[in-house]
């Protein structure tokens, strides 16, 4: 699960309200430059949340609006990271190749097993001398 970057800015300074949109954007940039992850991260300042997915800003969500918060959380929790998708595809492709790869390995082992001084044990196929 991706992290939440909570309370990156204070909503007030010296008793006067800050422009939260500008300050939040500036704080987000500072955090991203400092190495915060941006694959699936919510930055917020108690008034607005900004969702980053796949290293890009997806959108801003006003936290006072329940429908917007629901949309934010739905998008956050249903996010499928591109790296994960690629890994899953590669795994499926590799799984389909396992029978061919194992047969190739057997074909490589058989000639060596017949070489003088090398015997294969029937259990576990461990080579012994």
10-37 tens-digit pLDDT = 333 333 344 556 799 999 999 999 999 9
Burial 86-103 (b: 16+ CB within 10 A, else e): eeeeeeeeeeeeeeeeee
Residues 9 and 69 grouped into a single domain? yes
CA angle (66, 42, 14) in 5-degree steps: 85
Residues 17 and 31 grouped into a single domain? yes
If one compares 129 and 114, the residue with the highest pLDDT of the two is: 114
pLDDT digits (tens, 9 = 90+) for 41-92: 999 999 999 999 988 999 999 999 999 999 999 999 999 877 777 888 889 9
Residues 67 and 108 grouped into a single domain? no
Helix (H), strand (E) at residue 53: strand 48-53
CB distance 23 to 45 below 8 Å: yes
Q: Considering its fold, how many domains does the chain have in total?
A: 2
Q: Note if the pTM is more than 0.85.
A: no
Q: Return the half-sphere exposure (C-beta side, CA atoms, 13 A cut-off) of residue 34.
A: 9
Domain housing 57: 4-78
């Amino acid at each position: 699960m991706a992290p939440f970057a909570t309370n990156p800015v204070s909503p007030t300074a010296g008793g006067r309200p800050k422009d939260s949109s500008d300050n939040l954007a500036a704080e987000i940039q500072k955090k991203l430059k400092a190495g915060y992850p941006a694959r699936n991260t919510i930055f917020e300042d108690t008034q607005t949340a900004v969702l980053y997915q796949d290293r890009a800003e997806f959108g801003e969500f006003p936290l006072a609006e329940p429908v917007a918060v629901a949309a934010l959380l739905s998008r956050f929790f249903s996010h499928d990271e591109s790296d994960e998708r690629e890994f899953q595809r590669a795994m499926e492709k590799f799984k389909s190749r396992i029978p061919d790869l194992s047969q190739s390995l057997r074909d490589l082992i058989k000639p060596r097993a017949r070489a003088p001084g090398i015997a294969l044990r029937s259990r576990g196929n461990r080579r012994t001398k």
